Chains A and B, each alone.
Chain A
Amino acid sequence: MTEHVSPRDVDRAARVPAPIALLAELTHRCPLACPYCSNPLELEATRSELTTEQWISVFNQAAALGVLHLHLSGGEPASRRDLVELTAAGAAAGLYTNLITSGVGLNERRIAELSDAGLDHLQLSLQGATPELADRVGGYKGGYERKIAVAQWTHAAGIPLTVNAVCHKQNMDQMADMLDLAVRLGARRIEIATVQFHGWAEKNRKALMPTREQVLRANAFVNEARKRLEGVIVIDYVPADHHSSYPKACMGGWGRTGLNITPSGRVLPCHAAESIPSLQFDSVMDRPLADIWYHGAAFNAYRGDHWMPDLCRTCERKEIDFGGCRCQAMAIAGDASATDPVCIRSPLRQTLVEQAEIDSRAEPPPFVYRSMRPAREDG
């Protein structure tokens, strides 16, 4: 059989850089129930998860494709009984292996095994600076205490630690305490990320949307802390999207730097891409990973500028933010090809700001917790 490839396809493939990072969602199972969970609304069942051998094949394909960083994530990746084996496979493939965990499901022995398997780095989520708040946000009693223990075991094993702090209306005023805690726990790095409002977080907008005053205080605090703690801890900060003038360069541009694989092996350009109904996703069960990256329909849907509305295609920032977040455009404009409504040039910007203002002023209602079962409420 002869493959007919048009010059245009060749040209496009030649311009697509190899991916740097793979986010492997090993499972959607998770003991926590965070109200801003980034997993899709439809979770994949345990029985559909890739096997150990299938994941190992994916890691080897990813390394050959040019991936440098492997993020083992979920759900809670520690829910996989083969986590140590998968970590060893990632390390053997030459990948920089990073575990993104809530800490629940890890103990001292398992952390030592992960260290021996070649784990390069561990990212531990923290939902608040006090047990009361952290456990209420995570919807898991005793979670905070377990996280502190996990941080100590990680430090003792010599594995470098990053603390992940997702910030929102109810914990943003504890930012300084969360940073102090991260330093005390020996973290070299903290990621302070403001909640992104799509997926499950949409159900909790009034409980989570920070006020403009909170955002401005947080921005100023981070600037000051970065200077004060230079050489002590690295602070990576994702400011509040809805309070910025321009959209974020989501994923560093669609299909440019990273890819995401769901527990069942579906390959996505970003973790939320399944919220765009017009896209069809390939599976590692059916097609080689390199073929999916370079030629998959979902990956090529929003590469370059052919898909952009005139507003973006003629914009001098199109190589800076790549038109922003496609999933946010889908959620708010009802059209994944629209200008990200966060952009001050978007006709929907005013509506977005007004809605954010209303939600930020609201008395926080009880959380609608994430659950593999139907939604439940707290309190």
Chain B
Amino acid sequence: MSETPVITGATIAKLARGVRLREDPVRGQTVLLAPERALALDDIAVAVVKALDGERTLDAIAEEFARQFDAPKDQILGDIISFVEEFSNRRMLELRS
């Protein structure tokens, strides 16, 4: 049995199989679909999900967002880690470090 993973800046994440992002034209939103779940995501969450490509570390993603949005990197990294923790707890992500 696997242990609950610890998420850090060195973590690399991607959507687990069976979890996917989709446009929902009927409701005019972007949704994350998973077993028995359809989560409407805001623009920031969509950007984070799209950045979780299974190649870059969360640290590298935070760095890019910091440049792109001209915001403090540490704060962005904290937000991304919280996001990844929440979605990992819902078994929606595959992680490695």
A interface, CB within 8 angstroms of B:
18, 20, 64-66, 68-69, 94, 96, 98, 120-121, 123, 158-160, 162, 183-184, 188-189, 191, 230-234, 236
Contact = CB atoms under 8 A, between A and B. Distances in A.
B18 A159 contact: yes
A98 B20 CA distance: 13
A68 B24 CA distance: 8
B91 A188 contact: yes
Contacts of A160: 16-19, 35
Interface of B: 1-5, 16-20, 22, 24, 26-27, 31, 33, 35-36, 38, 88-91
Contacts of B33: 68-69, 96, 120
B22 A68 contact: yes
Nearest to A228: B4
Contacts of A184: 1
Given A68-B22, A69-B33, A160-B18, A232 B1 contact: yes
B24 A231 contact: no
B36 A231 contact: no
B17 A236 contact: no
Contacts of B2: 232
Contacts of B16: 160, 188
A188 B88 CA distance: 11
A136 to B, nearest CB: 28
A218 B86 CA distance: 25
Contact of B1 (A66, A159, A183, A230): A183
A69 B36 contact: yes
Contacts of B38: 20, 68-69, 96
B18 A231 contact: no
Given A160-B16, A183-B1, A236-B36, A66 B91 contact: no
Nearest to A63: B26
A68 B1 contact: no
A362 to B, nearest CB: 34
A69 B24 CA distance: 12
A231 B17 contact: no
Contacts of A65: 26
A230 B89 contact: yes
Contact of B26 (A66, A69, A230): A66
23 contacts: A65-B26, A66-B26, A68-B31, A69-B38, A120-B20, A121-B18, A158-B17, A159-B17, A160-B16, A160-B19, A160-B35, A162-B35, A188-B16, A188-B91, A189-B36, A189-B91, A191-B36, A230-B89, A231-B4, A231-B88, A231-B91, A232-B2, A232-B4
B26 A121 contact: no
A236 B36 CA distance: 10
Nearest to B4: A231
Given A68-B24, A232-B1, A98 B35 contact: yes
Contact of A121 (B4, B22, B35, B89): B35
A94 B35 CA distance: 15
In the A-B complex, the 9 residue pairs with the closest CB atoms: A160-B18, A66-B26, A231-B4, A188-B91, A96-B33, A121-B35, A121-B18, A68-B38, A231-B89
Contacts of B26: 18, 64-66
A18 B89 CA distance: 29
Given A66-B27, A231-B5, A231-B88, 12 more contacts: A66-B24, A68-B22, A96-B38, A120-B18, A120-B20, A120-B35, A121-B35, A184-B1, A188-B91, A231-B91, A232-B2, A236-B36
